[in-house]
Amino acid sequence: MKKILSIAMVLFAMTMMVKASDGKPINVEQLPKAAKEFIATHFVNEKIGVAKQDTDFMDKDYKVIFVSGNKVEFDKKGVWKEVDCERSSVPSSIIPSQIKTYLKSNYPDKVVTQIENKNKGKYKYEVELDNSMEIKFNKSFEVVEIDY
C-alpha cells in the first residue's frame, strides 16, 4: 500500500511539474506594463513572434520570443530576468555601464549574446559572450566568476 501511494505521489508531482512548465500563449497586451515598456525601449525594431505566460505553483513569469529568434524573460512584475540574442547581440542599452566598461577593457572584440539579471545568490548579473565565455558580476559589478 505504501508503495502504491508513493508511486501515485511521484506521478502526481511529475504531472504537476510538466504542467507547470507549459507556457501558455498570451496576447502581448497581457504582459505586465514594465515588460511592454522594456520591449518598446530596447527592441523597437523587433517583431514579436509569441508571448507566453509560465505559471508555477506559486510564481508566474513571462517569455517573449521575437521573429528573429531573440528572447526575453520577465518576472511576474515585468522586470527582465534574461535576454538571449544568440544570433545577434544584446542591445547595448540593456547592459549596465560598469559591465560595458569591463568588457571593453578586457574583451574588446567580443559581443554579449546573453545577459541574466539575478536577484539571488552571490552574483547579480551573468553575461555570455559570443565565444561562449560566461562572466558573473556581483551587485558592485565586480567579477566573481568566469566560466570558459
Domain boundaries, the chain: 1-79, 89-148
Q: Is it true that 1-79 and 89-148 share their CATH fold?
A: yes
Query: For position 22, what pLDDT does the model report?
Result: 60
48: part of which helix (H) or strand (E)? strand 48-55
Tell me the pLDDT tens digit for each residue of 11-35: 445 554 444 456 899 999 999 999 9
**Mean pLDDT for the stretch of residues 128-140:** 97
Query: For position 102, what pLDDT does the model report?
Result: 98
Query: For position 19, what pLDDT does the model report?
Result: 47
Place of cell 521575437: 66
Residue 1 has pLDDT above 90, yes or no: no
Decide which of 3.50.50.60, 3.10.270.10, 3.30.1060.10, 3.40.1420.30 is the CATH code for 1-79.
Answer: 3.40.1420.30
Query: For position 47, what pLDDT does the model report?
Result: 97
Tell me the pLDDT tens digit for each residue of 75-106: 999 999 999 998 899 999 999 999 999 999 99
Residue 3 has pLDDT above 80, yes or no: no
Summary mean pLDDT of the chain: 89
Give the span between the Cα atoms of 72 and 64, in whole angstroms.
5
Pick the more confident residue, 94 or 4.
94
- CA atoms 87, 89, 94, 97: torsion sign: positive
User: How many residues are present in the chain?
Assistant: 148
Residue 71 has pLDDT above 80, yes or no: yes
> Using an 8 Å Cβ cutoff, are 73 and 61 in contact?
yes
Query: For position 141, what pLDDT does the model report?
Result: 96
Give the span between the Cα atoms of 45 and 29, in whole angstroms.
18
CATH topology of domain 89-148: Inhibitor of vertebrate lysozyme, Ivy (3.40.1420)
Confidence of residue 56 (pLDDT cuts 50, 70, 90): confident
